[in-house]
Amino acid sequence: MKSTIVAPANIAFVKYWGARDLSSALPLDPSISMTLSVCATTTTVEALPEGAADSIELIDAGGTARVAPERFAARVLAHLERLRAHIGTSRGFRVATRNSFPAAAGLASSASGFAALATAVSSALGDKPSGRELSIRARLSGSGSASRSVLGGYVEWPAPPGDDPDAPAAALFPASHWDLADVIAVVETAEKDVASIDGHRRAATSPHFETRRNLLPTRLAAVRLAIEERRLDLLGPVLEEEAVELHLIAMSSRPPIFYWRPATLAVLEAIRRARQQGLSAWATMDAGANVHTICERSAAKDVAQLLRAVAGVEEVIEDHVGNGPVSAPAHLF
């Protein structure tokens, strides 16, 4: 059986940064995200006979299949291994995957990639897991943010209570609840120097890590309320504060991690200035140099125009809240 799934990336409003157990991506704290639409990964999985070797291809923007780079292939193979053990199968899998956006540049390619892989493997086996179970299967990749990308709209991934590892992500509100945009200023397309996993590993070495943890309950409550009441004036300041603190922690970890580039600051400055002129748009960044600008969908064109004018911005992607993974009729092989 063959299945093709298109799974979206997501942008965290409250970040997952710091893990209780990195090998199985168990977070120390809850995170809240918005599932996207445009930034997505398409993955075709064919279930092979029992004991067959896995194969992984990467399809480039022009549609040409390439052998997957070693590090990427190793992460995919490890995820397939864990999925096999979790589901209870010994089948091999042929996998082909394609991104709609620059991979590994803080644009959550792992989140969409592993959400697509977990969903496509499940459906290639003829399995129809619940959203809850899919979230657990996506998390087995080691990419915690993937556990949020299997669901649409506004999603919360709780910290696991006690020793229970399986606290899956759950939808707070569907995409139809609030039509928000994420206008992404791409200032860097190269792979980042330090992977998120190393950021999580070093996070607790920052003197600011515990301070942020203490602030999180209030911050999470504010974000939940802002989404519920569709209040960008309430959401915006909190999500910007969260993003800056993630980078503050990264920059003060030992050894420190600097994700920002000069153009990151130029974009932040442009957004701040535009806000003073009355534009309601707020910035957030994941573990990378690119800036995600959150605004009402009706303001997205104005925001995109503003970002395109900032020196150092290579590309602007107009994305928006979306519904989560869907199956696609056209297979990649």
The identity of residue 263, as a single letter, is: A
Which residues inside 231-250 make contact with ligand DP6, applying CB under 6 A? 246
Other Cβ atoms within 10 Å of 38 Cβ, number: 15
When the beta carbons of 111 and 313 are compared against ligand DP6, the nearer one is 111
Identified binder of ligand DP6 from the candidate list 37, 149, 196, 253, rule CB under 6 A: 196
Query: x/- site string to ligand DP6, residues 206 to 225, per CB under 6 A?
Result: --------------------
Decide the pairing of beta strands 326-327 and 19-21: unpaired
When the beta carbons of 143 and 290 are compared against ligand DP6, the nearer one is 143
When the beta carbons of 44 and 110 are compared against ligand DP6, the nearer one is 110
Stretch that binds ligand DP6, among 15-23, 55-63, 274-282, 306-314 (CB under 6 A): 15-23
172 DSSP 8-state letter: E
Q: Which helix (H) or strand (E) holds 110?
A: helix 109-124
Identified binder of ligand DP6 from the candidate list 119, 143, 264, 290, rule CB under 6 A: 143
When the beta carbons of 6 and 246 are compared against ligand DP6, the nearer one is 246
Distances (CA, A) of 178 to 42, 168, 226: 25, 23, 11
Site of tokens 């942008």:
11
Per the CB < 8 A criterion, the answer to whether 303 and 324 are in contact is no
35 touches ligand DP6 (CB under 6 A): no
Quick one: which of 291, 286, 27, 301 has its CA closest to 156?
27
Identified binder of ligand DP6 from the candidate list 34, 36, 76, 108, rule CB under 6 A: 108
Pair of tokens at residue 171: 């939808």
- The site for ligand DP6 (CB under 6 A) is made up of 12, 15-17, 31, 108, 110-111, 143-145, 196-197, 200, 246, 286-287
